[in-house]
């Protein structure tokens, strides 16, 4: 009898041990994304969920709500496990201590060196990595081929320096009627950091120091780019509505088909192809005064909420997003690839104009600041106030001086890198 009892006990012990080491239950991680990602994010989440035991629950948050909502949720302990966060805000949330330090994991990725450097830079705070690239958009210059041809220009050749931008815009403008040579959103800080600043970068200037600790607005490069825009405004090459445009016509003005040249973003390729197929357009780089080119690197960083228990699931999802399958899904539905080593493969079946945008992305830059919103995006901030005045007002020197002083004051009161 004792032998039988011992045998049952041994069997129970064995089966109990087997139960303990059996497969772990699948887990679900919650991820947020801003509405700008509502085309590609559900598709990559769906592809991941179909092929993995662990799952992702996705919440899409309105653009204007995601930053304050995440800040409040992180402070209150109800934040999602991870977030696709506009990369410009990564330094601020890193400085606030709300993000997980993912340095070791990031640097262990075999393709780490191929990830978008601008994204990685904004994802780094005090030498540690808190965000990795997820989605990307580059700034480019687009031109209307039909209008170029009508104006006697080569429809297959976009401008390669500032003089060509203005000269080409003048020729298109001369067609008359409701046709204008050039368009930009003159009262939109975000639009102009995205498309105007690359003109400065490509000419050797900058608006902030590398670490974001100094405002560097008063430079020959900035003044030269301002002169370009002012000259085109003075010559009536730009529609009058540009002066008050806060961004609502940033894309729509060109899409209407009566604008010759406009700075824009890679997103315009997909939007024009699907929504405005009759607009024949070209894509090129945003040039410097005498040539060369640069781009703003926009998009999102993938960040992890500090203290999440779902880090393995989050890592598994990001590994999938970084695979060729994942990068191809992102590219197909609206994001440029963030892995430079496989970008061409991810884009090979898409419109070849995306290759220009991807090349621009590879050299893309993003100003680094823990107070980016206060400096740049805020409607009452120094950058927005300055650009509208210097493009359309009478006191260029005063506008630059005021913006320089105000930006430096905001920077000096903020936590530093």
CA–CA distances in Å: residue 67 to residues 24, 57, 70, 291, 398: 34, 19, 5, 37, 33
Instruction: Quote the pLDDT of residue 48.
Output: 98
pLDDT, average across residues 94-103: 96
The per-residue pLDDT for range 374-411, each reduced to its tens digit, is 999 898 999 999 999 999 999 999 999 999 999 999 99
Coil, strand or helix at 301: strand
> Which residue has tokens 């927005």?
384
- Structural domain range at position 207: 139-294
237: nearest Cα among 320, 151, 319, 298? 151
- Whether residue 306 sits in one domain with residue 254: no
345 in the same domain as 275: no
Give the angle 286-406-248 at the CA atoms, nearest 5°: 45
pLDDT tens sequence across 295-349: 999 999 999 999 999 999 999 999 999 999 999 999 999 999 999 999 999 999 9
Domain final residue pick, 249, 271, 294: 294
Q: Average per-residue pLDDT in the chain?
A: 93
Task: Answer whether 164's CB lies under 8 Å from 253's CB.
Answer: no
Per-residue model confidence as pLDDT tens digits over 80-89: 999 999 999 9
Q: Are residues 79 and 178 in the same domain?
A: no
pLDDT score, position 110: 97
pTM to 2 decimal places: 0.88
Residue 237 pLDDT more than 80?
Answer: yes
Report in angstroms the alpha-carbon separations of 238 from 38, 276, 359, 371: 33, 22, 28, 32
Residues 143 and 180 in one domain: yes
Instruction: Please tell me the predicted confidence (pLDDT) of residue 11.
Output: 43
The number of distinct structural domains making up the chain is 2
Could you report the per-residue pLDDT of 113-138, keeping only the tens digit for each? Answer: 999 999 999 999 999 999 999 999 99
- pLDDT tens readout for residues 182-216: 999 999 999 999 999 999 999 999 999 999 999 99
- C-alpha count within 13 angstroms, C-beta hemisphere, residue 399: 18
The answer on 115 and 50 residing in a single domain is: yes
Quick check: is 76 in a domain? yes
Same domain, 227 and 144: yes
pLDDT at 159: 98
Q: What CATH number should be reported for the domain holding residue 109?
A: 3.40.190.10
Q: How far apart are CA 155 and CA 143, in angstroms?
A: 9
Q: Are residues 198 and 274 in the same domain?
A: yes
What is the C-alpha to C-alpha distance for residues 164 and 291, in angstroms, rounded to an integer?
A: 10
Query: If pLDDT is split at 50, 70 and 90, which confidence band does 362 have?
Result: confident
Are 116 and 183 in a shared domain?
Answer: no
pLDDT at 9: 44
Angle at CA of residue 337, ends 137 and 254, nearest 5°? 30
Alpha helices, DSSP H only, in 151-201?
Answer: 162-173, 189-195, 197-201
Residue 340, pLDDT score: 94
Contact 293, 279 (CB under 8 A): no
Same domain (yes/no): 133, 13: yes
pLDDT tens for 142-174 read 999 999 999 999 999 999 999 999 999 999 999
Query: What's the average model confidence in pLDDT over 34-51?
Result: 95
């Amino acid at each position: 009898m004792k032998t039988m009892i011992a045998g049952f006990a041994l069997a129970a012990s064995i089966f109990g041990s087997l139960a303990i080491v059996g497969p772990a239950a699948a887990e679900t991680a919650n991820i947020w994304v801003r509405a700008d990602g509502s085309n590609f994010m559900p598709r990559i989440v769906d592809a991941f969920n179909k092929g993995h035991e662990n799952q992702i629950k996705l919440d899409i948050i309105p653009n204007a709500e995601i930053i304050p909502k995440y800040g409040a949720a992180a402070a209150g302990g109800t934040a999602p496990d991870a977030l696709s966060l506009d990369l410009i805000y990564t330094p601020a949330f890193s400085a606030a201590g709300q993000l997980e330090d993912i340095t070791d994991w990031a640097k262990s990725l075999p393709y780490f060196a191929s990830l978008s450097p601008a994204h990685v830079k904004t994802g780094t705070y005090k030498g540690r990595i808190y965000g990795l690239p997820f989605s990307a958009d580059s700034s480019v210059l687009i031109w209307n081929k039909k209008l170029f041809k009508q104006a006697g220009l080569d429809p297959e050749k976009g401008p390669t320096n500032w003089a060509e931008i203005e000269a080409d815009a003048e020729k298109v403008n001369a067609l008359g009627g409701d046709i204008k040579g050039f368009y930009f959103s003159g009262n939109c800080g975000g639009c102009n950091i995205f498309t105007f600043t690359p003109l400065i970068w490509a000419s050797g200037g900058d608006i902030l120091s590398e670490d974001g600790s100094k405002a560097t607005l008063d430079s020959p490069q900035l003044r030269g780019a301002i002169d370009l825009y002012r000259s085109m405004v003075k010559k009536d090459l730009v529609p009058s509505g540009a002066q008050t445009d806060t961004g609502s016509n940033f894309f729509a003005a060109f899409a209407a088909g009566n604008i010759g040249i406009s700075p824009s973003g890679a997103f315009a390729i997909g939007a024009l192809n699907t929504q405005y197929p009759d607009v024949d357009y070209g894509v090129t780089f945003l040039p410097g005064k005498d040539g060369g080119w640069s781009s703003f690197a926009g998009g999102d960083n993938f960040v992890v909420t500090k203290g999440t228990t779902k880090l393995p699931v989050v890592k598994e999802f990001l590994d999938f997003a970084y695979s060729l399958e994942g990068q191809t899904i992102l590219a197909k539905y609206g994001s440029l690839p963030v892995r430079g080593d496989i970008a061409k493969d991810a884009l090979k079946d898409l419109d070849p104009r995306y290759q220009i945008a991807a090349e621009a992305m590879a050299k893309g830059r993003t100003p680094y600041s823990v107070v980016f919103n206060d400096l740049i995006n805020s409607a009452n901030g120094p950058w927005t106030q300055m650009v509208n005045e210097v493009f359309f007002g009478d006191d260029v020197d005063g506008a630059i001086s005021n913006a320089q002083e105000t930006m430096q004051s905001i920077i000096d009161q903020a936590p530093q890198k």
